[in-house]
Amino acid sequence: MTWTAPAPAPVDGPLVGPDRPMLEGYLAWQRTVLLNVCAGLTGAQLAARPLASSTLSLLGLVRHLTKVERTWLRIRAAGQDVPPVFDPALGKDHDFEATDPAEAEADFARYAEECRSCDAAAGGLDFDDTFVLADGTKMSLRMTYVHLIGEYARHLGHADLLREAIDGVTGR
């Protein structure tokens, strides 16, 4: 039997109240949208690069956002001593370039686990906690959530176009 990306459980968050539950809820929703766009596709479809002008694939986006989550929430914001998702020696675009349809299920499992680990790491921090980026810029956990939501929004637009090019499905 061929593995296909499962449909995620729907999530929702508050529309009023303190900013933390709203931003956490909106990030959770963005994650679910990514998984929903991928739902029902096989590893080969997820790894496909259906747009001639781009090397993007849905699997590459899942791998990339796994890396982004760990980098921003666990390594930078929480200061955890964990390795990067992909060895930097493989190149900055390894997450996009080294997609393997046979590894799609494992890549999705790694993404889910990373999201859980990131939520746990960020849950122990205050939204006003700060960290310093390599260039000396100070950033709060609150702004990190805003940054991640923006990163997802950008890539979800890519994901919509990729899905439509793969099988014509829109509006997921």
What is the full DSSP assignment across 49-77?
---TT----HHHHHHHHHHHHIIIIIIII
User: In the beta sheet, which residues pair with residue 4?
Assistant: 42
Length of the chain: 172
Q: In percent, how much of the chain has pLDDT > 70?
A: 99
Lookup: tokens for 10: 């729907």
The class that CATH gives domain 19-167 is mainly alpha
Amino acid found at 150: G
Question: E strands, the chain, where?
Answer: 130-132, 138-140
The reported pLDDT for the residue numbered 26 is: 96
Q: Quick one: pLDDT band at residue 172, thresholds 50, 70, 90?
A: low
Q: Tens of pLDDT along 80-134?
A: 999 999 999 999 999 999 999 999 999 999 999 999 999 999 999 999 999 999 9
Q: Tens of pLDDT along 46-73?
A: 999 999 889 999 999 999 999 999 999 9
The whole-number average pLDDT for the span 141-150 is 98
Q: Tens of pLDDT along 19-41?
A: 999 999 999 999 999 999 999 99
Structural contact between residues 139 and 131, judged by C-beta atoms closer than 8 angstroms: yes
Residue extents of the structural domains in the chain: 19-167
The reported pLDDT for the residue numbered 82 is: 97
User: In the beta sheet, which residues pair with residue 131?
Assistant: 139
Angstrom CA distances, 34 to 22, 30, 82, 128, stand at 19, 6, 25, 28
